[in-house]
Structure 1
Amino acid sequence: MSEQADYIIVGAGAAGSVLADRLSADGRSTVLVLESGGSDLDPMIAIPKGFFFLSSGNRHSFMYDTEPTGPEHVRERWQRGRVDGGSTSINGLQYERGNRPYWDALERSGLEGWGWNTILPLFLSLENHELGASPERGAGGPLDIRVTREPDELTEAMFAALEDYGLPRVPDINAAEGPRAGYLPNTVRRGRRRSAATAFLDPARRRPNVAYLRHAHVSTVRFDGRRAVGVQARTRGVLRDYRAAREVIICAGGIETPQLLERSGIGAGEVLARIGVAPIVENPHVGEHLIEQRHIVYQAHIDRRLGVNHRLSSRFRQLLAGAGYLLTRRGVIAGGVYDIGGFARLGPGYLGPSRLDPAGLDPASTDPASTDPDTFVMMNPLSMDLASPTPAVSKRPGFRLGAFLLSPETEGSLHSGGAQPDAAPVIEPRYLEAEWERETTRRMIEAARDIASRHPLAELFVEEDAPGADVVTTEQAVAHAWANRALSHAVGTARMAADGAGVVDATLRVTGIEGLRIADTSVLPKQPGNTMAPTYGLAARAAELILADR
């Protein structure tokens, strides 16, 4: 393979795969993609419900330990994909694009070209939606989106309760605004996971102007003065240099990207000094402004044999479900983690940041009269065995609801632990410190109980399994959220901001450096909710910007 290309892309996840496809499509430029992980041929990756076997870590993942944190002062383990397609090959397949107010707030903060009217057409160009084209939905693109499910009585009861609560049912939650609920859009094609690799990377790799190298972990960006001219990568134990004639584009994600910058000499002076790296450009924002999400879980036991527990609650039943899936590519195994998704407004009085946002954002959620959602809700006609040390379906029928803040504001930090590429990062997570975040977390539990009390769920309800009837105060609700794992949606560690208040500008160029851009979740200055779909849109926008400069 060539060791020089016009563009070098670091990472083959959601962003890197889209960029590989779009930058190479017209044949005018050569592209080299370097992926730290290996092949995605593991059958568990292709099976949508294989998520449950991939979510505890394996050879397809980076696993990171945080610093001790939370009420119990324990280390958490964060997971990210390290494989063809990155985290899109191991995640829960949920495709939510971020609401219009989120993208418009970016543009109002001074980030020209990032408003909804610019981003929406890019989403549409990517999508091949099951429901067909509309002004808010794409068809004919490479990324298949599925929203239908097999009829289920418990699922219909949940929809009815959600509607009675005030979340009207819509065919496509991405093609509507305001409070709403519907089947969760999943990236699935004919019963198989549609990852960034299968949708974008594989077609790009078939072109003669694209080179792809697995097991190539980039250690540093190489510079000529303050111009990025390539990268150094460790490929199967050997360090090799790769040169970029035009640009290096980092798509390594919210955890790896700030570490790569710091190892390359871009970061806060004290961090670079601690890890023994000479500065190229000092920037105090690298690795700061880390925003992650915590969630609440509500689970209830019901008195009828409805839902899917009876199909998955034993090894034998799981084998039967698996055999049915292999024969038909249908059934409970053919969908993502949750079936229902929705957007809710839970926080009157504290509907957004309680202080001026450091990135200059002014989301509409600060307006007490706004109806813009501040919470994402998920429901399943399934309940888990809460006593099991590993994920296991309960033998009793029930349903489950999860909820999290769309755009929390509490910030942590993430920095390189050393100059070597395998040095563990120093992750200092923080959560739910603003009063509005804490109060809205309590309201999530109240909302879950309210939904469970509405017809026809109320007629099925027996008892609350989680969080437990004794969880009623704000402090108890926050403690419950801490007891659940973080959501693998970290953003902000190389944030995009106007007027030099971040790491990249609105064109995704790294401040103070030529020939280097970042196009992954690390540049998002605020949480959009789930991050897979926004990253696809971000990468499509990055491709536009890069090709405009060619």
Structure 2
Amino acid sequence: MPRRLEGDYDYIIVGAGTAGCIMANRLSADPTKRVLLLEAGGNDNWIWFHIPVGYLFAIGNPRSDWMFKTEAEPGLNGRALSYPRGKVIGGSSAINAMISMRGQAADYDHWRQLGLAGWSYSDVLPAFKRLEDHFLGASEHHGVGGGWRIEAPRLSWQILDAVGDAAEEMGIKRIADFNTGDNEGTSYFHVNQKRGRRWSSARGFLKPVLNRHNLRLETNVLVDRLVIESGRAAGVQFRQGDETIEARAGGEVILCAGSIGTTQVLQRSGIGPSEWLSPLGIDIVVDVQGIGRNLQDHLQQRAIYKVSGVRTLNETYYNLFRRGLMGLDYAVRRRGPLTMAPSQLGIFTRSDPTRSRANIQFHVQPLSLDKFGDPLHRFPAITVSACNLQPTSRGTVRIRSAAVDDKPAIAPNYLSTEDDRQVAADAIRTTRKLMKQKALEKYQPEEFLPGPSVGDDDTSLAKAAGDIGTTIFHPVGTAKMGTANDPLAVVDERLRFYGLHGLRIADASVMPTITSGNTNTPTAMIAEKGAAMILQDAR
């Protein structure tokens, strides 16, 4: 028998990542509501969670990353990819790229067109603004005073300026802000930092309110399953150390464990496709076909170009004197390469002129490496990654067994549609065109990946995309929001679970379609909007 956790709770939140920290902040603001927040990772008491360049050490490290891997992907020519997810309070916002990106107004207007009332861009904009403390100040687009600090980058690179000039030569306009509804153009990314330090969801929303008497945080907790009684989510059962513990919720259980974690908890609870769960010996509580399906992610083609006559981080990193100066600059001024997000320059454009809106995003980096967790290359180079913003491929997340610590089978199914293969090929062509612009001539860019031996025809480029394509760490959609007549819908437009009372999901898994850009900020918005709905419904 599991031990009963002392105390009665109105709300139990599973996951203290980007969404869970915001949810806990908002729900515990009412002193009459008792909130329990459960996090599978630990506290963010490691220096590399706070120095921005720490992602180089956090991704691929079991201290900070769940170390998931995908299945071997046919579209990637049989390769399996590492699939990082944050293992700490703040979740992936503690190890991610720190890029502040909402996507496009058309993304949310599409959600509304799917029948999801309250999710158009004009509906979600107030939630985005409430979250923000934006360096540009209050305006029709941005807010101030929120917990989500957004600042301009604190360094620049001559080679990235030149890539921006090259984009202009191609007809891609410079813009000042990607987050005004239409992100087509080129600019430096705004970042979730405060004076040169990473600003995770835990720092912005959780830590300032941990002194509230009605909020309890438990870390290093693996939530095994939901407790279901009479068609209602009555609580959760979790493992902490060697002990199994049960906690009860008088109000609601809110899953904020992300597209992977939320799916695992539901499927272990007997909630999901019966044909997946029954062979594992799991009793079916609710047969919900959408749980674990509809996985979407942004696949990027990581093109690498050697350059000459200009500084990149590669050679700086291997020069001990320069590394010392980098550390000194950070210690004294909180500036320099240690404040770097993984990508600094962004370019949003169309893979071909027939597209109705920007459908590829470039992340341009003044560095190169084989993959995150590997050392930088010893030659000066830049990475010019183009990702498909609106992929049509859909994948799955499935538990392998009922064991709480068993890693799931993640199959994104990349490049499984003709449209995605065409966009990937066109994205590499666009990259090559960009790097041949006059603004870059003096730096003599030389294609290292995919390599000059790769032809420019569709077949060669699609195969190259499979060889060099990798995740940009944006899994969404595995418990999608939809109308009651959608066979894959898991929650309604108020994030209430179809088929069980007292259960909501408020994380990236509810996105019906992926947003056109980095997904951390949209996930924060979902939590902000979801918390407001929960409080409103409770009244």
* TM-score, normalised with respect to structure 1: 0.92
1:179-234 CA distance string (max 9 Å, x none): 21111111111111100100011122121110000011110110111111100111
Give 1:180-191 correspondences, 5 Å limit. Answer: 180-191=185-196
**Residue 420 of structure 1, aligned match among 376, 400, 403:** 403
Contact 1:186 1:335 in 2 (8 A): no
Who is 2:117 aligned against? 112
The reply to whether residue 255 of structure 1 matches residue 256 of structure 2 is: no
Corresponding position of 1:466? 449
| Structure 2 residue aligned with 1:433 | 416
Tell me, in whole angstroms, the C-alpha distance in 2 between the residues paired with 1:186 and 1:389: 20
Q: Which residue number in structure 1 is paired with residue 26 of structure 2? A: 22
Among 498, 511, 516, the residue aligned to 2:483: 498
Q: Which shows bigger deviation, 251-260 or 64-73?
A: 64-73
Shift of 1:417: 1.4
Q: Offset of 1:131 from its aligned partner? A: 1.7
Decide which of 437, 449, 472 is 1:487's aligned counterpart.
472
**2:225 matched to 1:220?**
yes
Per-residue deviation, 1:158: 1.8
Q: Does 1:231 align with 2:216?
A: no
**Partner SS, residue 447 of structure 2:** strand
Pick one of 298, 307, 316 that aligns with 2:303: 298
Q: How does 1:51-450 map to 2 (within 5 A)?
A: 51-70=55-74, 71-175=76-180, 177=182, 179-349=184-354, 351=355, 370=356, 372-380=357-365, 382-384=366-368, 391-450=374-433
Shift of the 157–66 alpha-carbon distance from structure 1 to 2, 3 Å rule, reads closer
Residue number in structure 2 paired with 1:359: none
Identity among equivalent pairs (%): 34
Report the Cα offset of residue 176 of structure 1. Answer: 5.3
SS in 1 for 2:497: coil
Structure 2 residue corresponding to 1:6, chosen from 10, 20, 44:
10
* Aligned residue number for residue 542 of structure 1: 530
Counterpart for residue 40 of structure 1: 44
1:151 Cα deviation after fit: 4.3
Q: Which residue of 1 aligns with 2:54?
A: 50
Does the 8 Å CA contact 1:313/1:392 hold for their aligned counterparts?
no
Q: CA deviation at 1:473?
A: 2.8
CA distance in 2, matches of 1:37, 1:425: 17
In structure 1, stretches of 5+ residues that fail to align are: 352-369
Give 1:108's aligned amino acid: Q
SS of structure 2 residue aligned to 1:174? coil
Higher mean C-alpha deviation, range 141-150 or range 436-445: 141-150
2:375 counterpart SS class = coil
TM-score, normalised to structure 2's length? 0.94
* 1:7–1:188 Cα change, 3 Å: same
Query: What number of residue pairs does the alignment pair up?
Result: 528
Letter in 2 for 1:414: V
Distance across 2 between alignment mates of 1:498 and 1:345: 31
Instruction: Say if 2:274 and 2:287, in contact at 8 Å, map to a contact too.
Output: yes
SS at match of 1:169: coil
* Partners of 1:39 and 1:149 in 2: CA distance: 27
Gaps of 5+ in 2: none
Deviation of 1:104 after TM superposition, in Å, equals 0.5
SS in 2 for 1:469: coil
Which residue of structure 2 lines up, in the alignment, with residue 363 of structure 1? Answer: none
Report how far residue 476 of structure 1 moved.
Answer: 3.0
> Residue 513 of structure 1 is aligned with which of 475, 479, 500?
500
CA, structure 1 residues 385+122, in 2 after alignment: closer, same or farther (shift >3 Å)?
closer
- Using the TM superposition, give the Cα deviation of residue 415 of structure 1 relative to its aligned residue in structure 2, in angstroms: 1.1
Match for 1:55: what amino acid? I
Pair 276,525 (structure 1): closer, same or farther in 2 beyond 3 Å: same
Task: Note the C-alpha offset of 1:429.
Answer: 2.6
TM-aligned CA distance change 1:321 to 1:291, over 3 Å:
same
Structure 1 residue matching 2:169: 3-state secondary structure? helix
How far residue 72 of structure 1 moved from its aligned partner, in angstroms, is 4.0
Shift in alpha-carbon separation, 1:310–1:272, aligned structure 2, 3 A:
closer
Contact 2:60 2:373 in 1 (8 A): no
Residue 531 (structure 1) aligns with: 519
Letter in 2 for 1:66: T
What value does the CA root-mean-square deviation take over the aligned residues? Answer: 1.9
Greater Cα shift, 269-278 or 102-111 = 269-278
CA distance in 1, matches of 2:421, 2:126: 36
Give me the whole-angstrom Cα distance separating, in 2, the residues matched to 1:151 and 1:438: 34
Q: Is the 8 A contact 2:310 2:443 kept in 1?
A: no
Contact between 1:3 and 1:241, CA under 8 Å: does it hold in 2?
Answer: no
C-alpha distance in 2 between matches for 1:389 and 1:518: 30
